[in-house]
Amino acid sequence: MYNVLIGGAGSGKSYACADDMVKRCAERKRRYIAGRKVGATIVRSTWPLVLSRVDAMGLTKYIDQNKQEKTITFANGSQIFFIGLDDSDKLKSIFDPTDAWMEEADQFAQSDFEEIDRRIRSGTDNKITLSLNPVSQYSWIKSYFFDNNFVGDKLLSIKTTYKDNEVLRRVNPAAWQKQSDTLERLKDTNPSAYRVYALGEWGIIEGVVFTNWDEQDPPAGLKPEGYGLDFGYASDPSALIAVYNSGDDIWLDELIYQSGLTNPQLSSLMQSSGIDPYGEIIADCAEPKSIEELAIMGWYAIKPAMKGPDSVRNGIGMMQSKRIHISKRSYNLKKEFSSYSWSKDRNGRELPVPVDLWNHGIDAARYSIQTRGLDAGVGGCY
């Protein structure tokens, strides 16, 4: 059986997939693959999400977790294996898997899916679930499952939007409302993005801000010039980006991208990410209290961003003048660079103002790049 969950931003599809996987494992013995395209993203995405859902269901005392190997074992013998498809040996090492969940499935190649499909044990209730935002109508998922009269086991396709996220609406209504307002504004500012992220329909994001980037890891031996930090909490993630520089080339590496972090939790993640306590961290100047708290916690070189007049557009201009390379593991940052777009007026004309959405990692990088690019003493927190 194949489940394809297509949804807009904040639709709760990842929570639904995690809940379904945990429940199936608790019911009877299964060997579940929880896959991401890049293994390094697991530690801040599916791994903490699934553990939180296990806890919410009161099952924590019935499982053993191996943080090193990223596996969860249930009392009934069920196991969940968290793997990245960038490590093919990890997939080959899983004996006789029964089910799989491919999170952010649009990042996988069709060959990745077919490899997982070949390895899933045949049975009456085995299931492969794919969850994704329908960013591109040219996705292999659209053509494979929807355009070519898919023939095979039972296919169930579900489309959800932010309006279906009853968990967030109930637990944090203020965050849900903020998210709703942000997505609904896209109807006027960027109709193509509204179609994808608010309505959950197949499309292509038009008018992206950055076209001067590719996927490339920093060269061996090159040290970070510094870090950029954008604070978030409820519906918005905190994002910390390492910035490497060599001439007109900039490399960006996503180290933290997670919502719901208190400052002590953020500091702990910074420590586990191997960030130098004396390394320069340029943080959003709109959060002076958070900057001061992190400084007290031992981040001695953290300081507020110097944005300057018309800071967003000027910062974008600085970044557009460079060749930008984004590390392979920086999934969220790559998604932002693919989605961050210019606003449009009601007649569809492009405006010189970007949509204030999908820019947390971008803003973090911009703080570092822009502050270093301003003359000493110029600028402020605009």
SS (H, E, C) 255-287: EEEECCCCHHHHHHHHHHCCCCCCCCEEECCCC
358 in Cβ contact with 290 (< 8 Å): no
Asked if the structure places residue 36 within a domain, the reply is: yes
Same-domain pairing of 94 and 221: no
User: Are both 122 and 228 inside the same structural domain?
Assistant: no
pLDDT computed for residue 151 by the predictor:
61
How many domains, the chain?
A: 2
Is 18 within a domain? yes
CATH number of the domain that residue 331 is part of:
3.30.420.280
Mean pLDDT: which of 71-85, 119-133, 223-237 is highest? 71-85
Average pLDDT of the segment spanning 19-37? 95
Domain that holds residue 317: 213-373
Band of residue 366 on the pLDDT scale cut at 50, 70, 90: very high
Domain ends where: 114, 133, 159? 159
The two three-digit tokens of residue 128, written as one number? 């492969």
Report the 10 Å Cβ neighbour count for 222.
Answer: 13
114-135 pLDDT, tens digit each: 999 999 876 678 999 999 999 8
pLDDT for res 356: 83
Q: Are residues 246 and 343 in the same domain?
A: yes
**Pair 148, 242 in one domain:** no
Average pLDDT of the segment spanning 356-374: 88
- pLDDT of 217 above 60: yes
Q: Please give the pLDDT value at position 65.
A: 92
**Interatomic CA distance for residues 214 and 102, integer angstroms:** 24
Categorise residue 316: left if φ over 0, alpha if ψ from -120 to 50, beta otherwise: alpha
Contact 25, 74 (CB under 8 A): yes
Higher pLDDT, residue 201 or 349: 201
Q: Are residues 346 and 242 in the same domain?
A: yes
User: How high is the pLDDT of residue 378?
Assistant: 43
CATH number at 15 reads 3.40.50.300
